[in-house]
Amino acid sequence: MSAWARRVHRGATSLGQAVASCGGAAPYPMRLEKVKFGVPLEQVCTAGQDLPAPLLVLVLKLNKEAPTKKDVFRAPGHQGNMKKLVHFLHQGRLVNLDHFSVYTIASVLKKFLRKLPGGIFGPALEDQLFQALAEISEMEERRERVQRLLSSLPLPAQRLLVLLFGTFRLVASSAEACRTGMTSEALGVSVAPSFFRSCVSEGKVARMEDVVRFKAATRVTQFLIDHFGVSNLFGRDNYEYYARLTGRVLKVEEDWVFAFRYPPDSLVPRKTSLEAERSWLQAEAQRWGLHHGQSTPALAQEGPCLVLEEAGLHQTPLLGPARSLSFLPLIKHMMAFIDQEANEKAEEVDAKAEEEFNIEKGRLVTEQRLKIIDYYTRREKQVELQRKIQSSNMLNQARLRVLKAGEDHIATVLEEAKRRLGDITRDQARYQALLQSMVLQALLQLLEQEVIVHCRPQDAGLLNLDTLSAKFKEATGREVKLSVEPSLASSSCGGVEMLSRRGKIRVCNTLESRLDMIALQLLPQIRTALFGRNPNRKFMD
């Protein structure tokens, strides 16, 4: 058993009976009171009005070490250590708090407060506290109202609150000197949801009412921290309880000063001190299996010179051989006891070093794993992007080839149509009528007085200019003078080109031009007839 655990056991009678069982052959011979999560505080305090000793030890450790820690009560603790500590508290097992950081202990305390059904204040008292700070503007009246509300709580809740807010006050007071960043406002934001359950959103999305209640809870928490020890806010008995447990000097409005210190040795009678030491040595001798003749009390009775030496009366004479031999078993047992204490301390140091090593190793492994995952994720995205680009390029190239093949096929069809236009000129009568209509159509487009008709040499004899002039005059009421020039190539399919007198206006009405115009207008129908309907097009031209 370590020296710290022995001191806790020796002071169990004054600290809420901290140890329920001392010694024995059970696997865990020394058990503490169990701290249950998720039950009312009155059920947690099984020993009347006293808080469980493990809970007190957690608060006292925070009271001692938290004021110098940065971001305490805001930074989260180690999740694995939190589960382990909660399990130990549930089982009532002794635990070495040196293995747990202040952040882990603070997170466990916040979890304990959050698990209290209805919170430590309760829904009704929470609303009254919110109203006290919102409706009362006078500071003295506000303090008195809050003091009455706090005094209405059960005694265990009052004691737990005075210990916690006393610790918060120490943390806030040392925030600037230690540069921890945990002012009263920061503490209010961090711990308010643990005290006031009504400000916690029930769903995943926070509502505006939840935000308003959270701000109100933060103001109440900051008010309790800033006014700790002012105007009897927590009550005289609770302040005495805080000073007695923490050993700190507490000033309340410069009128009360509470302090708790262990009395110096000069105030204890020498005889009483020796008797207490003799009783403890006798208990240790019985524990280590020493006989009565070898125990320290027997040595003290046989050798009063030892007591006189400690009292400073005179020097100790030399011991005889028999008396020197009687010291050997006790010295061996005490050396064994010291070795055991050293081994336990070494094991604690090794365990702590191993834990820190595992934490650092886990952090480095996790960091490298995240880097590797991020690297391969980026590479995977790049490969996927390259694949999509390549696939898109291939699809575009295939589409272009399909379009080019379709255009080539349409061009082939048009060439075949042009080749077949020559068959129209074989029927002279039909072609002559078509040629006369084409000339008249061009004249109606020009509406000029003098027009030159360009045609093939073989078509010059088919044109009756007088008949065309008469039809034009009949249609428009104008005179027109026509002249023929056989300037078109003989290899063309037929038709005419009409020019005005000055050659500035030209109308091409050959069979080839009419075929090109019709092909351009009917190109969608030609594509549909040749290749079918395109399933990717919603609207057709």
CATH code, domain with 258:
1.10.555.10
Domain boundary among 232, 262, 292: 262
Sign of the dihedral through C-alpha 398, 401, 403, 406 = negative
Provide the mean pLDDT of the chain: 78
- Residue 464 belongs to domain with CATH number: 3.30.2320.30
Does position 131 have pLDDT exceeding 50, yes or no? yes
Domain boundary among 262, 293, 316: 262
Rounded to an integer, the average pLDDT of 358-365 is 90
Residue 537 belongs to a domain: no
User: Same structural domain for residues 283 and 207?
Assistant: no
Angle between helices 321-421 and 523-531 (to 10 degrees): 110
User: Same structural domain for residues 458 and 311?
Assistant: no
Read off the pTM: 0.46
User: Same structural domain for residues 145 and 20?
Assistant: yes
Residue numbers of the domain that contains 123: 3-262
Residue 536 belongs to a domain: no
User: Which residue would you say has higher pLDDT here, 200 or 193?
Assistant: 193
Does position 537 have pLDDT exceeding 60, yes or no? yes
Residue 502 belongs to a domain: yes
Rounded to an integer, the average pLDDT of 382-398 is 93
Q: Please state, in angstroms and rounded to a whole number, the distance separating the CA atoms of residues 285 and 274.
A: 16
User: Same structural domain for residues 220 and 315?
Assistant: no
Sign of the dihedral through C-alpha 342, 348, 354, 356 = negative
Residue 170 CB partners (closer than 8 Å, separation 6+): 63, 66, 67, 248
Q: Please state, in angstroms and rounded to a whole number, the distance separating the CA atoms of residues 258 and 184.
A: 23
Q: Please state, in angstroms and rounded to a whole number, the distance separating the CA atoms of residues 184 and 173.
A: 8
User: Same structural domain for residues 228 and 279?
Assistant: no
Residue 539 belongs to a domain: no
User: Same structural domain for residues 513 and 370?
Assistant: no
Report helix, strand or coil for 116. Answer: coil
Residue 509 belongs to a domain: yes
Q: Please state, in angstroms and rounded to a whole number, the distance separating the CA atoms of residues 185 and 225.
A: 9
Residue 541 belongs to a domain: no
Helix, strand and coil in the chain, % to nearest 5: 65, 5, 30
| Per-residue model confidence (pLDDT) at position 25 | 38
User: Same structural domain for residues 52 and 139?
Assistant: yes
| Per-residue model confidence (pLDDT) at position 250 | 64
User: Same structural domain for residues 347 and 479?
Assistant: no
User: Same structural domain for residues 170 and 243?
Assistant: yes
Q: Please state, in angstroms and rounded to a whole number, the distance separating the CA atoms of residues 500 and 481.
A: 10
User: Which residue would you say has higher pLDDT here, 233 or 253?
Assistant: 233
Residue 69 CB partners (closer than 8 Å, separation 6+): 102, 103, 180
What are 379's two structure tokens? 């590479």
User: Same structural domain for residues 10 and 137?
Assistant: yes
Vertex 242, ends 237 and 248: CA angle to 5°?
130
Domain boundary among 262, 279, 300: 262
- Of residues 498, 528, 232, 234, the one with CA closest to residue 406: 528
User: Same structural domain for residues 170 and 135?
Assistant: yes
User: Same structural domain for residues 73 and 109?
Assistant: yes
- Total of domains in the chain: 3
pLDDT in tens, 448-492: 888 888 898 888 888 888 888 898 888 888 888 888 888 888 888
Residue 422 belongs to a domain: no
| Per-residue model confidence (pLDDT) at position 284 | 62
| Per-residue model confidence (pLDDT) at position 92 | 83
